[in-house]
A and B are shown apart, each in its own frame.
Chain A
Amino acid sequence: AQKVTQAQTEISVVEKEDVTLDCVYETRDTTYYLFWYKQPPSGELVFLIRRNSFDEQNEISGRYSWNFQKSTSSFNFTITASQVVDSAVYFCALGLKGYQKVTFGTGTKLQVIP
């Protein structure tokens, strides 16, 4: 069975600080996908990134960056120079080959204080 753990329930940072959201996953499958979604107060899920298990390259998109390490089964998400608009709940998720199901972590609520 697959599992996604986001140990940080809530994080508060002051604007312009960097913040890293942790994600640890468990699966016996060798082919899988990892995702990050943002859920602002409005509730709609916003897709941020998808990474397949064969691609361990880190990715940077503007202020966002992701560190995928298979050796530690982690897929951490860093926001650089955080802004108030980054305040949201962030979910890490795992999808297996065939993509029939996506297992979500419990989410990390990020509050960026001006």
Chain B
Amino acid sequence: GAVVSQHPSWVICKSGTSVKIECRSLDFQATTMFWYRQFPKQSLMLMATSNEGSKATYEQGVEKDKFLINHASLTLSTLTVTSAHPEDSSFYICSARLPGLGLDYEQYFGPGTRLTVT
């Protein structure tokens, strides 16, 4: 089956620094990847849709300059949290869409990255 990996699985950084999270589709090419954020005991909230070779589409309320998304290849999307603050501490999950015809394409989730900003 399709596998999506994330790196790192957890990271601790100091307030004011930037941290990059990678999302890779290991055995398929993903033209579209999605980034979600999940606060403790809450649901997944879509942050942005990342399309290979073009700018990401951000959801309302998500700061583009703070959460930089780069989808440089068909197997890699990165999320950079710039000038991180403690309120950015969260569980970040990516997913990759398996290309397909019609409506029947799958979306596979990565294992998530737990970010703690001190």
Chain A, interface residues (CB within 8 Å), range: 20 to 34
Q: Do B103 and A102 have beta carbons less than 8 Å apart?
A: no
Closest beta carbon of chain B to A44's beta carbon, Å: 4
With an 8 A cutoff between CB atoms, is A70 at the interface? no
Q: Do B109 and A106 have beta carbons less than 8 Å apart?
A: no
- Closest-by-CB residue of A relative to B105 is A99
With an 8 A cutoff between CB atoms, is B11 at the interface? no
- Closest-by-CB residue of A relative to B44 is A104
Contact code string B74-118 (vs A, CB < 8 Å = 1, else 0): 000000000000000001010101000001111111111010000
CA distance A102 to B112 in the complex (A): 17
Closest beta carbon of chain A to B102's beta carbon, Å: 10
Q: Do B109 and A47 have beta carbons less than 8 Å apart?
A: yes
- Chain B hits for A104, CB < 8 A: 43-45
Q: Do A99 and B103 have beta carbons less than 8 Å apart?
A: yes
Query: Contact residues of A with B, CB < 8 Å?
Result: 31, 33, 37, 42-45, 47, 50, 52, 91, 95, 97-107, 109
Interface CB pairs A-B, < 8 A, 7: A31-B103, A33-B103, A43-B91, A44-B110, A44-B111, A45-B109, A99-B107
